[in-house]
Amino acid sequence: MTAEPSDPAPFAWTRKHLLGLEELSREEITAILDTAEAFSEVSNRSRKKVPALQGRIVFNLFFENSTRTRTSFSLAAKRLSADVQDFSANVSSISKGETFIDTAKNIEAMGCDVMVVRHPTPGAPHLLSQHVQSSIINAGDGAHEHPTQGLLDLMTIRRAKGSFEGLTVALLGDIAHSRVARSNIWGLLKLGAKVILCGPPTLVPRSMERLGCEVAYHLDEILPRCDVVNVLRIQFERQQRGLFPSVGEYSQFYMMTRERVRKAKDDLLILAPGPINRGVELTPEVADGDHSAILDQVHNGLAVRMAVLYFLSGKNPDAE
Amino acid sequence: MPTIQITGGRVIDPSRDLDATGDVWIRDGKIAPDGGGEPADTVVDARGLIVAPGLIDVHVHLREPGQEEDETIATGAAAALAGGVTTVACMPNTLPPIDTQAAAEFVVLQGQRARQANVYPVGCVSKGREGKEMATLGQLVAGGAVAFTDDGAPVSNAGLMRRALEYSKMFNLVIMQHCQVMELTDGGVMNEGFESTRLGLGGMPAAAEDIMVARDIRLAEITGGRLHVQHISTARAVELVREGKKRGIRVTAEACPHHFSLTDDRLRTFDSNFKMNPPLRTAEDVAAVIEGLKDDTIEILCTDHAPHAREKKMRELDHAPFGIVGLETLLPITVTHLIEPGHLTWPQAIRKLTINAANLLNLPRKGTLRPGADADVTVIDPALAWTVEAARLRSKSKNTPYDGWRVRGRAHTVIVGGEIRYALGGADDVA
């Protein structure tokens, strides 16, 4: 049995951290996706493990609730034979003093090679990367970036569509507060796709156009042009803050329904980073229908996270 | 008291439109017309240097009482001297706030004990800085207050602001307003715009400042009170003040170095030393602030010196407090960003740091080298190139965005009340 991906990309990875897709080059993104493809096969084996990260320690440092992302990172690390430890902190308990950095330093003192960090404040993983020796993977920092989610979306699209050139991808919903949106935007633009941001004006700032995206308010007008729709989750507290009048009204304008899918391209691909609110962003029959790639995303997420851990830890020249 | 002769310097005293090489004499703590035929006890050789009235900073936070871990009146007033500033006006957002005569007297007393720069208290507009009831402004004046503000937060209630502008007329003192509509900045940590959108950080729109400036200028107009717009940072706010002045309204404005030297794209580093309120704005706003300084719409330069201890400031951006230290970088950033690029001449810049500030605070014996004035003098080496090092600042806190900047211009000798209290390279110069 081969221990390593059979066809490692002829590419020298030099980064110590993965903080966002904004700073990655097209080549770096492609290298991760190619390696993820190689790792994807591991998940289909009966013995789902390779020894690449044997003896390495991966800490999941989550300062915000998450089950799916943390589980995915844990499994990815375990499949690479790393030791994994979870650390979840209640944000309110770390809201005093330097405890966020102190917490990370304490964890590092126990021995740590990679920290997977989720935090409600943009830039928190960046701050941490200046204070610890470990490699940092940003697993979501506020509304800023969620690079592995972006990468798994890219992988899912590439698998379904082959390439990004000429592709039109709509990100739908709460763009303003979405780290998934930002990571998608950077990744998709670098790989050559056209990106449409669609949602109510209170959730889709016009200034997003300056990133090179189209901004649209009416889904029905843009849907026929789309090859991919990435349906972002609506957080109900946005409605409480008055950013849209009601969930019902939101659904009327932006829910992916069977009727809407019927008017779209035959090969429309529907992604949703989840967790999804059925009956709000998507109807159940669309979520479970032929166009939906939601479960593929979860599968690919594991492969992408294995690739990232592999690059940052297993083959990181700085770490040797 | 020993007499001092500052000799051979370029004396710039905008209060008298003076810009000429000459000597400045000091006797008994006052500026003297000449030496009276006697040789001076102390001679300061100012050849190649600028001799100016002691600089006045109308906007500092010295954190005492209540947050002495960030700064004390003694450390802040010492930092002022190292920056060439001989007089500071302390904002009242301390713990407790300066909203009574006794509290104001405490600030005065601590300033006297420190014997560094002159320290004047600014009193609260509202009791407890709660924005509800007017503070005892008259008693604050009796305690030494030279202006009123709820700075740190605006006086949001338009009725209270109107009454404060009216009532303060009996003292002819200014209401300093931190102009911000709070409902528009909730959750914000930086300027709202392309950069905040890109970074996913909460935004504070320029309109939040503009709207409050517009409201308060109108209130100053109907009351005849004196409105001072603090730390102006937006293009539209500068335009509103310009219009207000044209209409004869009693409105003045101040600008801080960070608002004419830095823009919001600095936040890309997520460094909390670029988090302040008002936030760093866009290049267009910076250009407008500079234009406002050039045409005297903005007549005052100051710092909004806001020290925060390292453990408070070196945090995630959402949790880090707003503000940066500024006293020791006011002069060099003014030199490198206003004087050297040709926006302001030395006399214009010094005017904004001296006589205009003294007039704002009604301090007739400050900000001038007129004989009989308090002998507060700042001798400046305008050509001295140096590197800002956060760790070597005298301020108790080191939260500066200018760490590592190569700058020019520095205080050489600083005299307060006829006493040399700071000399660059001297025994008390830790830099």
CB contact under 8 A, A123 and B199: yes
pLDDT digits (tens, 9 = 90+) for A146-181: 999 999 999 999 999 999 999 999 999 999 999 999
pLDDT of residue A100 exceeding 90, the answer is: no
Quote the CA–CA distance of B133 and A164 in Å, as a whole number. Answer: 62
* A199 and A265 share one domain: yes
CB contact under 8 A, A176 and B197: yes
| Mean pLDDT, range B24-40, rounded to an integer | 94
Place of tokens 């300093």: B176
Residue A110 sits at φ, ψ, to 5 deg, of -80, -10
Whether the CB-CB separation of A132 and A156 falls below 8 Å is answered with: no
| Mean pLDDT, range B387-400, rounded to an integer | 97
pLDDT digits (tens, 9 = 90+) for B94-142: 999 999 999 999 999 999 999 999 999 999 999 999 999 999 999 999 9
| Mean pLDDT, range B27-38, rounded to an integer | 93
Place of tokens 């528009």: B184
Strand order in the sheet with A228-231: A214-216, A194-198, A168-172, A228-231, A269-271
Cite the active site residues of B: 304
CB contact under 8 A, B311 and A126: no
Which among B197, B269, B317 has the least Cβ separation from residue A208? B197
Single-letter code of the amino acid located at B365: R
Q: Does the residue A10 lie in any domain?
A: no
| Mean pLDDT, range A98-120, rounded to an integer | 89
Q: Does the residue A185 lie in any domain?
A: yes
Whether the CB-CB separation of B70 and B95 falls below 8 Å is answered with: no
Contacts of B184 in chain A (CB under 8 A): none
B121: its two tokens? 């208290």
Our CA-based measurement puts residue B75 at a distance from the nearest CA of chain A, in whole angstroms, of 23
- Comparing C-alpha atoms, which of A104, A113, A107 is closest to residue A134? A113
* A246 and A122 share one domain: no
Q: Does the residue A283 lie in any domain?
A: yes
pLDDT of residue A195 exceeding 50, the answer is: yes
* A183 and A204 share one domain: yes
Q: Enter the DSSP assignment of B225.
A: -
Helices B235-246, B283-294: axis angle to 10 degrees equals 30
- Comparing C-alpha atoms, which of B224, B216, B212, B151 is closest to residue B180? B212
Contacts of B321 in chain A (CB under 8 A): none
Q: Does the residue A172 lie in any domain?
A: yes
Range of the domain at A180: 147-293
| Mean pLDDT, range B250-279, rounded to an integer | 97
Quote the CA–CA distance of B42 and B64 in Å, as a whole number. Answer: 35
Our CA-based measurement puts residue B317 at a distance from the nearest CA of chain A, in whole angstroms, of 7
Count Cβ atoms below 10 Å from residue B153 Cβ, excluding itself.
16
Contacts of B275 in chain A (CB under 8 A): none
pLDDT of residue A312 exceeding 50, the answer is: yes
B198: its two tokens? 């890109």
- Comparing C-alpha atoms, which of A16, A9, A29 is closest to residue A186? A29
Q: Phi/psi class of residue B138: alpha, beta or left (left: φ > 0; alpha: ψ in -120 to 50)?
A: alpha
CB contact under 8 A, A205 and B197: yes
A144 HSE (CA, 13 A, CB side): 30
Exposed, middle or buried, B291 (CB in 10 Å: 0-12/13-18/19+)?
middle
Q: Give the whole-number percent of chain B exceeding pLDDT 90.
A: 96
Residues whose CB falls within 8 Å of the CB of residue A109, separated by 6 or more in sequence, listed in order: none
Q: Does the residue A258 lie in any domain?
A: yes
Contacts of A208 in chain B (CB under 8 A): 197
Quote the CA–CA distance of A204 and A217 in Å, as a whole number. Answer: 8
Place of tokens 């956060």: B390
Count Cβ atoms below 10 Å from residue A100 Cβ, excluding itself.
26
Mutation for testing the B interface, residue in A127, A183, A210 having most B CBs under 10 Å: A127
Q: What is the pLDDT of residue A320?
A: 38
In whole angstroms, how far apart are CA B196 and each of A115, A201, A205, B288, B335? 26, 16, 10, 21, 30
Place of tokens 């910076």: B286
Quote the CA–CA distance of B399 and B326 in Å, as a whole number. Answer: 9
Whether the CB-CB separation of B167 and B137 falls below 8 Å is answered with: yes
Scanning A180-209 for CB atoms below 8 A from B yields 182, 205, 207-208
CB contact under 8 A, B318 and A121: yes
Residues whose CB falls within 8 Å of the CB of residue A241, separated by 6 or more in sequence, listed in order: none
Quote the CA–CA distance of B308 and B305 in Å, as a whole number. Answer: 10
Q: What are the helix (H) ranges across B354-424? A: 355-360
Scanning A138-157 for CB atoms below 8 A from B yields 141-145
Rg over CA atoms, chain A: 19
> DSSP strand E in B14-90: where?
18-27, 30-32, 42-45, 50-53, 55-60, 85-90
Quote the CA–CA distance of B148 and B140 in Å, as a whole number. Answer: 9
CA A252 centroid distance within chain: 27
Which chain B residue is nearest to residue A100, measuring alpha carbons? B315
Average pLDDT score over chain B: 97
Specify the pTM. Answer: 0.93
In whole angstroms, how far apart are CA B225 and each of A57, B164, B170, B171, B196? 66, 8, 9, 10, 37
Q: Does the beta carbon of B311 lie under 8 angstroms from any beta carbon of chain A?
A: yes
Count Cβ atoms below 10 Å from residue A201 Cβ, excluding itself.
12
Residues in chain B: 431
pLDDT of residue A117 exceeding 50, the answer is: yes
pLDDT digits (tens, 9 = 90+) for B154-180: 999 999 999 999 999 999 999 999 999
Strand order in the sheet with A135-141: A83-88, A57-62, A114-119, A135-141
pLDDT digits (tens, 9 = 90+) for A273-302: 978 899 999 999 999 999 999 999 999 999
pLDDT band at A1 (very low <50, low <70, confident <90, very high): very low
CB contact under 8 A, B318 and A120: yes
* A308 and A283 share one domain: no
Q: Does the residue A46 lie in any domain?
A: yes
- Comparing C-alpha atoms, which of A256, A68, A36 is closest to residue A159? A36
Q: Does the residue A273 lie in any domain?
A: yes
The tally of domains found in chain A comes to 2
A252: its two tokens? 């009327």
Whether the CB-CB separation of A228 and A272 falls below 8 Å is answered with: no
**Beta bridge partner(s), residue B126:** B134
* A30 and A113 share one domain: yes
* A168 and A105 share one domain: no
Q: Enter the DSSP assignment of B173.
A: -
Single-letter code of the amino acid located at A316: N
Residue B266 sits at φ, ψ, to 5 deg, of -60, -25
Is domain B54-360 in CATH 3.30.70.3040, yes or no?
no
Rg over CA atoms, chain B: 20
* A156 and A288 share one domain: yes
pLDDT band at A95 (very low <50, low <70, confident <90, very high): low
B212 HSE (CA, 13 A, CB side): 29
pLDDT of residue B74 exceeding 90, the answer is: yes
Contacts of B316 in chain A (CB under 8 A): 100, 119, 121, 123-124, 127
> DSSP strand E in B221-348: where?
227-229, 251-255, 300-301
B21: its two tokens? 């090489």
Q: Does the residue A266 lie in any domain?
A: yes
Q: Does the beta carbon of A158 lie under 8 angstroms from any beta carbon of chain B?
A: no
Exposed, middle or buried, B425 (CB in 10 Å: 0-12/13-18/19+)?
exposed
3-state secondary structure of B363: coil
Angle formed at CA A156 by CA A154 and CA A157, multiple of 5 degrees: 65
Contacts of A104 in chain B (CB under 8 A): none
Q: Does the beta carbon of B314 lie under 8 angstroms from any beta carbon of chain A?
A: yes
CATH number at residue A104: 3.40.50.1370
Which among B198, B199, B316 has the least Cβ separation from residue A127? B316
Quote the CA–CA distance of B182 and B172 in Å, as a whole number. Answer: 28
Q: What is the pLDDT of residue A3?
A: 45
